[in-house]
Every structure is written in C-alpha cells, then in structure tokens.
Amino acid sequence: MKKKFLFVLFLIVFVQESPAQTPADTVLSRYYSYLNRTERIHPADIDQWIHTLNGKGQWPDINYRDEARANWQLLIHLKRVEELCLAWSNPQSFFYHQAALWKTISLSLNNWLANKYQNPNWWHNQIGVPQCMRDIIVLLKDTLSSRQLQEALKVMDQLRIQKNGAGANTTWSADLGLHYGALTHNLALMDSCSQIIADEIHISTGEGVQPDYSFHQHGARLQMYQYGKAFLFTNIRLAWELRGTPWAFPGNKVNILTDFLLKGWQWMARGINTIPGTMDRSASRVGELRSPDIRYLIPFLIELAPANTQAFKQLKAYQNGEGALVGFRYYPYSDFAAYQTGNFSFFLKTISTRTLPTEVGLNSENLEGKLLNSGDAYLIQNGKEYYNMMPVWNWQDLPGITSFNEACQIERKPFVGSVGNGKNGLTAMDYCIENKSGNQQISAHKVWACHKNVVISLIANLQAKNIKDTIYTVLDQCRLQGEVAVNSPDNIVKDGIHQLNSVKWIYHHHIAYIPLKPATIKLKIGKVKGRWSSVNASESDSLVTDSVFMPVMVHNGVNNNSTGYVLAYCEKPKDAQLISQTPDWKILRNDKICQAVQFKDGTGMIAFFEAGQLKTRLGLVKVNRPCLLLIADHYLYVSDPSQRGGPIKINLNDKMIEVNLPKEDTTKKIQIAR
C-alpha cells in the first residue's frame, strides 16, 4: 500500500511540474494538489449524501428557500458538491471514480447550475459561491461536460474584483480572478489579479496588517482570526502556488506573511485556542475559538520559506500541545495584551479612542456581544475554558469587566496602553462603562500587571453615578473543570449560587483567585443552558447544556474605593492558600493618581494617571505627565498609553531622565544602573 501511495504521489508531482505545462497550467495543477493534500474526506458523509439526494438534485435537510445572510444553508449544498468532488478525484479515496458518486455529483451540480441561487448578502454571491465553484471546476475540469463547464464558469464569473484597501475581501476576489484567468487562458487577468493580491500584502494603519502585526477589518477592529485568517491562509496558499512562476510574490511580501504569523498570529492564542476579542463578531459562530489552527499549512510554509523551517515546526509543536510560548506582547494598534507562560496564557482586550467597539448584530451575528472589548480578560490552559461556551454565557458578565446590571457600552478614552520588556508587562485602562442612555455610569482606573505566573489586577478611584444596583467585577466565567475550594483546601463548594463573605482565595483548575483583601464573592457553579441562536441567528436553536465557574467580586463601598485581585497559577488548593498567605508581590499604591506593584525579584510596575511621585525600593520616582513605567534588570521601560508622544521627564532617585516618546511605537528602554 505504501509503495502504491508513493507511486501516486510521484505521479501527481510529475504531472504538476511537467516541463510541457504552461505557467497557468502549473498554477492550476498546484491548486489541484493543494486541495487533495489539505481537504479531508469523510466517508460516512459521502455515503449518506449519495443515498439521500433526491431526483431534483437536492438534499432533504437543506432549506432551499433560506436567505440567511451569514450561515446560508444553500452554500452547504455547494460545499457538499465540492467534498463529493474531492472524494471522486483523489486516488487514495475509497470513492475514487465510482459511478454512483459521479451520478450524485452531476445531479447536484446541475441543480445549482440550473437555479444559480442568490443570497441577499453580496459576499455569498460574489465570493463564497465562486470559491466553491472554482474548486469544483479544478477538481473535475476534464470530467465535466462542455455544457457543465460553460455553466460552472458562468457561476464563477459572479466574482467581482474589489479594489485594494478592502482587506481580505480584496484578496478573496483577486484570488478568484487569478484562477478564473488561468481556467479561461486570460493571462492579462492573471497579471492584474496577481498584482492586486501582492499590493494588498502590506503594513499600514488602514485595513489589513498593522505595524504591530495585528489585523484590522471594518475599521480599527481587531479581526485576527476572522478576516485576518482569510488573508493569511489565502496568501500562504497563493504564495506557494505562484512560486517560480511569472506571478510569484516578491520576497518582501512573503516576509510580511511570515512575520504576521510568527509575531502576531501565534501570540494571540494558546496553541490553537483563542478568545472572542481576537475575532469580533465571528466568536458567535460554532467552533470559531479554534480558528488559530494553522497546522495543515505548515508543510506549504516550509516549502515557501525554508529559512524559517525551525520556527514553523516550533509553532506546529505548540499547536499540538507540546510546550508553549513564553513572554509578554502588547499590540498598541489593537489594544490587546498577551501574557504567555508555560502553564497558562492571559489575554486582555481593552478599547480606546483609537479602536472601535465590537460589531453587534451585523448579519444577525454577535447578538449579545455589546460588552466585548471592554477590558474583558481570559485565562487559557487547555483550551476548554471558553470553547463553545457562547450560547450558555451570561454576556452581561464577561470575564474581567467591572460593571453593573444595566451596563451597555464602554465610553472610550485615550489613556489605554501598556509597557513591557518582552517577558513581563503592565497594561492600563482609563475605564468607564455606562447604560444605554449614559445617565448611569461607573468609572475607574484599572491596571493588569503580569509577572512570573501571576496577573495582578488593580482597580482604583472606583466611582458610581446614579447607580443603586450592585457594582461588581467578574473574576472569570469559564467552563467548570474540577472541584472548587474556598479559603481552605478542605472547603469544597457544591454546585449552586453562593454569596460568600470574607473570601481570601478561591481555587479552580490550577488557578487561584485572590482578592487583595477579604471580599464578598458571588459564586456560581454548575449547570447552565442556552441556544446558539440566541447569539447568532444563523446557528442552531437546539438547547445546549454545559457547566460554568463564575466568581464575581462585589464592591460594597464604591466612591473612591480601591480594590483588586490576583490570578495566580498553582497546582493544588493548598498552593493557593500558601500564595495568599505569603505573596510574592507588594502593592505600593492604588489610588486615583498612581497604581503600582513591586515583586520580590525587584521588578516594579507603575501607572501614573497624572503627574506624581512614588516611593519604591530604588528610591523616589517622579514624573511630569501621565505614563507607564516598568523597572527590571537595570532597565527602565517607559510608555505613553495615550500615544501622544513627546517629551517626558522622569526623576529616579534624584537622577533626571528625559525621554522623547514617539507617537506610534510608544515604549522606550533606558539603562539605569549596573
């Protein structure tokens, strides 16, 4: 069997790279190979589709009158045809060239060619449908009748090539135009489309790849694993297809793709698992929190950019669960922080005047996500924490937010940013959340200090306006994994909703949740129910049941109140107790002007919300304007969260340091002692 497989593989490669082929034929042959190397065939589905297709070429489980703008059911029909074509065309498939399969393909394809179904959403008509039809044509080009080929090309010709600047939509449409040109021998079209694709691979502050290697679409919104995924995956495949042809990507374009992958993509996930804040409204789709999975493209990346082979293999290992990234990264163009450790990952999505709120309700998606990007914070260890929890979530109480019952929106402010040294970091947010009319409001200064398996969240100057309800901070809202202990390793809390007083620590799934001082905690543990359709109208209406762990810290006194909590990795409940009793940190200050923490190894993190001073282990620190400081390993790191840039004066133990901060890349590193 192995010899047969090797022979078939040799035959495919030989046909692809035959000297007699034109460059356009080479592109199509490589795409044919790509489809057969990457797409999985599911025999049980193939067999079912063969036996359930009716005489009209339709499947009974698809609503052929559906007009949903997001998950359009009729596109399922065409995707099934495509998968049937893969089973037909792959020599390793059990169904390879089976007569019954061909009959099903022909009948179901003819149904689409006769009806040419349309959707109210332009994307399906101009991109989604032509993409499927392109694949069908490439897989069956020599088997289709002349009429079928002609009609299939008409459907593919529904594509409309978008101008540069539309991000992933430009790439999708030009990709289609490139292959349409190859199929119709239109080399001029291939020339123009390949140029459009290459031009779209650039770094800018508009839509697409940002200077910090995050990704924006629909304005200044982080869309890493939605539109960014389409951009990256499509361009990796295209760069591989076009290598060595007249349409090959220039080297600098390939470098942008690899840098985007290694400096941005892999840092916003733990392995293959990410959080809602990295993908905006698509988080309301089933299975989307595992969109970072790029393992199937690693072989193509190695062929495309062999100089990065080791980095690609390491990325694949991380995505296989073998080890993890370690370090701190902040993405100032997207207000996103990632703290990666060997044991867990901490992700924080803030918002400022420079970024936009989440898209709520577009295409009837993200129906409950109005508070996304509001300082919500997440801990991932094994990837089960938030995966597919969306239908059972309490969207009013997202992890990490400080809120009240009627909260509806964040008031965006400029003082939002971070300072870091690659290993550790401090993120600050001038925080304000309000109800729909704006007459009820909570404001506070919030910071998150990440260092040595610990995240310290400080909340200062907590103010309330016209609010009689409870004010609270959600410490987490994740899937329940194991027992929950409170204040004692032997005090295991049962399922239910509990109002707990004088809580010193809570342990759940290797994380200790430690209030800075004994606190009132509302703790919810156990079963929750919901429906995907409640967050995304195109998803299932079936009832979903899961289990949740949700500790909520209640703020009893509000005005001018300062509080906070710690998230610390620990193996067992007794370790949580030990960390709580013998902390490795000291809160130096937590008030309106300054929030600061110092760790035992000497690392200090300071947020000045206005000019001020602070006593530290190194002496007195004074600043003449708002800023963030990190002091570690004989270096001072300075950042301007407002991204205004300009001069700042720092007096460190009577030594004056003047720093001119840039507007964009706002962190400066200064050696202070040896």
Q: Quick one: three-class SS letters along 357-406?
A: CCCCCHHHECCCCCCCCCCEEEEECCCCCCCCCHHHCCCCCCCCCEECCC
The total domain count for the chain is 2
CA distances from 183 to 148, 472, 534, 570 (A): 14, 60, 43, 58
Q: What is the mean pLDDT of residues 29-58?
A: 96
Looking at residue 460, what DSSP letter applies?
E
Q: CA-CA distance, 93 to 521, in Å (whole number)?
A: 57
**Closest to 158 in 3D by CA, of 176, 170, 140, 145:** 176
Is residue 251 in a domain?
no
Q: Which of 112, 136, 158 is at the close of a domain?
A: 158
- Judge whether 384 and 479 are in contact, CB under 8 Å: yes
pLDDT, the chain, mean: 95
Which DSSP string do the residues of 567-578 spell out, in sequence order?
EEE-SSHHHHHH
Q: What is the mean pLDDT of residues 399-413?
A: 97
Q: Compute the C-alpha angle 106/112/117, nearest 5°.
A: 175
- CA torsion angle 527 528 530 536 (round to 10): -120
Q: CA-CA distance, 82 to 32, in Å (whole number)?
A: 12
Whose tokens are 């190859």? That residue is: 182
Q: CA-CA distance, 251 to 307, in Å (whole number)?
A: 12
CA dihedral for 538, 539, 543, 544, sign (positive or negative): negative
Strand partners, 417: 428
Provide the pLDDT for residue 15: 41
Q: Give per-residue burial for 473-509: e unless 16+ CB within 10 Å, then b.
A: bbbbbbbbeeebbbbeeeeebeeeebebeebbbbbbb
Q: CA-CA distance, 89 to 93, in Å (whole number)?
A: 8
Strand partners, 376: 349
pLDDT, tens digit (0-9, with 9 covering 90-100), for 231-242: 999 999 999 999
What are the residues whose beta carbons fall under 8 Å from the beta carbon of 100, sequence distance 6 or more? 50
Q: 69: domain CATH number?
A: 1.50.10.100
By CB neighbour count within 10 A (0-12 exposed, 13-18 middle, 19+ buried), where does 204 fall?
exposed
Q: Which of 116, 142, 158 is at the close of a domain?
A: 158
In three-state form (DSSP H/G/I as H, E/B as E, the rest C), the secondary structure along 486-524 is ECCCCCECCCEEEEEEEECCEEECCEEEEECCCEEEEEE
For residue 16 the two structure tokens come to 């692809």
Which DSSP string do the residues of 303-349 spell out, in sequence order?
HH-GGGHHHHHHHHHHHTTSS---EEEEETTTTEEEEE-SS-EEEEE
Question: Number of helices (H) and strands (E), helices first, in the chain?
Answer: 15, 31
Provide the pLDDT for residue 135: 98
Q: CA-CA distance, 203 to 212, in Å (whole number)?
A: 9
Is residue 201 in a domain?
no
**pLDDT confidence bin for 617, thresholds 50/70/90:** confident
pLDDT, tens digit (0-9, with 9 covering 90-100), for 262-285: 999 999 999 999 999 999 999 999
Q: Taking 80 as the threshold, does the pLDDT of residue 600 lie above it?
A: yes
pLDDT, tens digit (0-9, with 9 covering 90-100), for 203-246: 999 999 999 999 999 999 999 999 999 999 999 999 999 999 99
| More confident: 653 or 56 | 56
**pLDDT confidence bin for 70, thresholds 50/70/90:** confident
Q: 498: domain CATH number?
A: 2.70.98.10
pLDDT, tens digit (0-9, with 9 covering 90-100), for 309-357: 999 999 999 999 999 999 999 999 999 999 999 999 999 999 999 999 9
Q: What is the mean pLDDT of residues 427-443?
A: 97
What are the residues whose beta carbons fall under 8 Å from the beta carbon of 222, sequence distance 6 or more? 214, 215, 216, 277, 278, 279, 280, 331, 334, 335, 336, 349, 355, 373
**Closest to 212 in 3D by CA, of 312, 35, 335, 347:** 335
Provide the pLDDT for residue 10: 33
- Judge whether 328 and 420 are in contact, CB under 8 Å: yes
Predicted TM-score (pTM) of this structure: 0.92
Is residue 455 in a domain?
yes
Is residue 12 in a domain?
no
Is residue 359 in a domain?
yes
What are the residues whose beta carbons fall under 8 Å from the beta carbon of 146, sequence distance 6 or more? none
Is residue 276 in a domain?
no
Q: What is the mean pLDDT of residues 554-563?
A: 80
Q: CA-CA distance, 55 to 57, in Å (whole number)?
A: 5
Q: Domain range spanning residue 81?
A: 39-158
Cα-flanking dihedrals φ and ψ of residue 505, to 5°?
Answer: -165, 155
Provide the pLDDT for residue 661: 92
- Judge whether 580 and 522 are in contact, CB under 8 Å: no
What are the residues whose beta carbons fall under 8 Å from the beta carbon of 96, sequence distance 6 or more? 87, 88, 89, 90
Is residue 195 in a domain?
no
Q: Taking 80 as the threshold, does the pLDDT of residue 166 lie above it?
A: no
**pLDDT confidence bin for 560, thresholds 50/70/90:** low
By CB neighbour count within 10 A (0-12 exposed, 13-18 middle, 19+ buried), where does 641 fall?
buried
For residue 143 the two structure tokens come to 């088997």
CA dihedral for 127, 130, 133, 134, sign (positive or negative): negative
Which DSSP string do the residues of 221-233 spell out, in sequence order?
-B-TTTHHHHHHH
- Judge whether 424 and 450 are in contact, CB under 8 Å: yes
Is residue 122 in a domain?
yes
Provide the pLDDT for residue 14: 36
Identity of residue 213: Y
**pLDDT confidence bin for 167, thresholds 50/70/90:** confident
pLDDT over 90 for what percent of the chain? 91
Q: Which of 158, 193, 212 is at the close of a domain?
A: 158
Q: What is the mean pLDDT of residues 373-396?
A: 98
- CA torsion angle 332 336 341 343 (round to 10): 180
Q: Give per-residue burial for 308-347: e unless 16+ CB within 10 Å, then b.
A: beeebebbbebbeeeebbebbbbbbbbbbbbbbbeebbbb
Rounded to a whole number, what is the distance in angstroms from the first to the last CA of the chain? 65
- Judge whether 346 and 567 are in contact, CB under 8 Å: yes
